[in-house]
Structure 1
Amino acid sequence: MEELTADTITLEVLQEARETVTRSPLGVINTPMIPWCQTTLPLPQPCNVYLKLENMQKTGSFKLRGVANQFSRRPKAGHFVTMSAGNYGKSFAYASKHYGTKGKVVMPDTAPISRSLLIQTFGIEVERVPTSRVLNVVDRCVQEDNMTFMHSYNDPDLIAGHASLGFEILEVVPDPDVVVVCCGGGGLLAGVAASLKLSGCEKTRIYGVEPDGACTMYRSFIEKKPVGMDSKSIASGLAPPFAGALPYALCRKYVAEIVLVTEEEIKSAVSTLYNTGLVVEPSGCAAFAALVNGKIPDVTGKKVVVILSGGNIGKDELANFPD
């Protein structure tokens, strides 16, 4: 297999993927981007902030963008396997049902059980295992059951699909000073960063945000190579076992810094957003948590875009957050 580097992700590749995502029969939508001043949220620092509402995307998260591009480039038959804590699995299952393909999601047993049950409603098999065994089970499915692995973040087609979000940002704010993006395996961060920088936003500072208990990309930046760890966080979608090699390469090239937020900051962000009418899951509000807790430097007077990346959170989960 050809080795993939950051240079293989070109503006032409990303623009082609955007057209694919826009035309996809899966119904990906151009989600709203609203000024902070149109909400009742308190603004901790005087800056011009926009919220990109991917929590309103079909299937409830940005993941459908990458999935739409992935499935457009895969055979419309076969048996696919993936790994996911929930959001990618939901979009994968939705696409599998649409195209009539068979699929299986290997899920860490730390993910909410409600996510597993939801994925199964699409006719997709779910196998819950300890996080440390997720990759082993995927390998077993590939080798013993002849399934094709569809990666949930370390995949060029997926990353190119996610880049469509970056192009949408530029339609509303052509020259953002700062863009803040959550980071799990790094697929969304890599795609958004590449689309912005390759579109000519040379001065835009892009920040990735991870939970401090699941900081694989942060550690990868320090060690200068993609690394893994025993990731644990209430933001299960941001807690993969390792950073993706291709996302890492793109983030090193285009991202200014990876910043960390605590579990309490994430919980508080979920509650704050919910109390102003925005339903955002823990994984989806990491970027917001970073901004309101002063983790993003030099934003005073700047145009700042914050991505709320997902809203898949059940009533049972919301009950665990403070008012």
Structure 2
Amino acid sequence: MGEVSADAVTLDMLREARETVRSSPLGVINTPMIAWSQTTLPLSISCNIHIKLENMQRTGSFKIRGVANQFARRPTGGCFVTISAGNYGVEVERAPTSCLINVVNRCVQEDNMTFLHSFDDLDLIAGHASLGMEVLEVMPEPDVVVVCCGGGGLLAGVAAAIKLSGCSKTKIYGVEPEGACTMYKSFIEKKPVEMDSKSIASGLAPPFAGRLPYELCQRYVEGIVLVSDEEIKAAVSTLYRSGLVVEPSGSAAFAAIVNNKILELEGKDVVCILTGGNIGKSELLNFQD
């Protein structure tokens, strides 16, 4: 797909993608959204927070949403290659971050595969926007929405869906690990940047921010906040003690809220998105105190 601008993302496109995702043979589900007050999770702020449980998605991750829309808009019967920290359940070839693009190019050129970008792709972002539309079905006018951010595809899609649906006053925040803050640095430098990303939240640590996600985030996102690996680790443990299995990458938004990284939440209607639950038992035990 050639380069497109943020102007290409329209409400009609996102609504169409929402229906595509809803009817996908991949079996994407409308995940629950529950009130924080109905859990045993600690909260030091007096506000109305709802938690979107995308860790309960069919593949254990939000990623299936964008992929469902990508598949629907690509020729059938082909073979695909993508870059991911996991969650796909297909043939996997491990490679160092510095060599990923070389592996992709080999698959495209030698094996005639189609590359599905894992965050910088219009169809993917439109598919991820379905999550934002589901949020609005439960909370039509949230004051604040907090979303994890890696390459920016999910944050861009959710933010576009909410803003284009008419929620002009909603403040949307992305959350990145301190050691993998490509979107944060992109906001500062006013262009997509690269960095040697390192974090316990591997799904939030791509080597660069996506160009289209950056443009959309610049337009629709209030700001990017950072959390440490220790704060992410503590978030995984806290969520687990309350009965929620969430991977490090899926816990970033929660970590930002409980560590007061987002100001002025008092009395507000807030949405916190838990984006994934793909964590093994042995790994999970390492996060417990």
TM-score range, shorter chain: over 0.9
**Does residue 156 of structure 1 match 2:122?**
yes
Deviations 1:219-244 (A, max 9, x none): 11111111111111110000011111
Match of 2:102 in 1: 136
SS at match of 2:263: coil
The Cα of 1:75 is off from its aligned counterpart by 1.3
Asked if structure 2 preserves the Cα contact closer than 8 Å seen for 1:132 and 1:230, the reply is: no
Match of 1:266 in 2: 232
The Cα of 1:188 is off from its aligned counterpart by 0.5
* Alpha-carbon distance in structure 2 between the residues aligned to 1:202 and 1:43: 27
Of 187, 206, 223, the residue aligned with 2:172 is: 206
Q: Which runs of 5+ in 2 are unaligned?
A: none
* Alpha-carbon distance in structure 2 between the residues aligned to 1:3 and 1:127: 27
The 5-angstrom pairing of residues 31-180 of structure 1 reads 31-87=31-87, 90=88, 119=89, 124-180=90-146
RMSD: 0.9
The Cα of 1:270 is off from its aligned counterpart by 0.1
The Cα of 1:79 is off from its aligned counterpart by 1.8
Match of 2:186 in 1: 220
SS at match of 1:126: coil
The Cα of 1:2 is off from its aligned counterpart by 4.0
SS at match of 1:129: coil
The Cα of 1:27 is off from its aligned counterpart by 1.0
Asked if structure 2 preserves the Cα contact closer than 8 Å seen for 1:35 and 1:51, the reply is: yes
Match of 1:185 in 2: 151
Match of 1:277 in 2: 243
The code of the aligned residue for 1:34 comes to I
Paired residues, number: 289
Asked if structure 2 preserves the Cα contact closer than 8 Å seen for 1:266 and 1:282, the reply is: yes
* Alpha-carbon distance in structure 2 between the residues aligned to 1:303 and 1:171: 14
The code of the aligned residue for 1:57 comes to Q
Moved more, 48-57 or 75-84: 75-84
Report sequence identity in percent: 75
SS at match of 2:260: coil
Deviations 1:35-86 (A, max 9, x none): 0000011112111100000000100011111111110111111221111111
SS at match of 1:176: coil
Match of 1:291 in 2: 257
The Cα of 1:174 is off from its aligned counterpart by 0.6
Asked if structure 2 preserves the Cα contact closer than 8 Å seen for 1:33 and 1:50, the reply is: yes
SS at match of 1:58: coil
The code of the aligned residue for 1:17 comes to A
Deviations 1:260-281 (A, max 9, x none): 0000000000000000000000
Match of 1:16 in 2: 16
* Alpha-carbon distance in structure 1 between the residues aligned to 2:151 and 2:249: 12
The Cα of 1:254 is off from its aligned counterpart by 0.2
Deviations 1:177-220 (A, max 9, x none): 00000000101000000000000000000000000000010111
Match of 1:257 in 2: 223
Deviations 1:126-177 (A, max 9, x none): 1111111111211222223322111111111110001011111111111100
The code of the aligned residue for 2:218 comes to R
**Does residue 301 of structure 1 match 2:267?**
yes
SS at match of 1:274: helix
SS at match of 1:240: coil
* Alpha-carbon distance in structure 2 between the residues aligned to 1:185 and 1:2: 18
* CA gap 1:24/1:249 in 2 versus in 1, 3 angstroms: same
Match of 1:107 in 2: none
**TM-score, with length taken from structure 1:** 0.88
Match of 1:6 in 2: 6
Q: Which runs of 5+ in 1 are unaligned?
A: 91-118
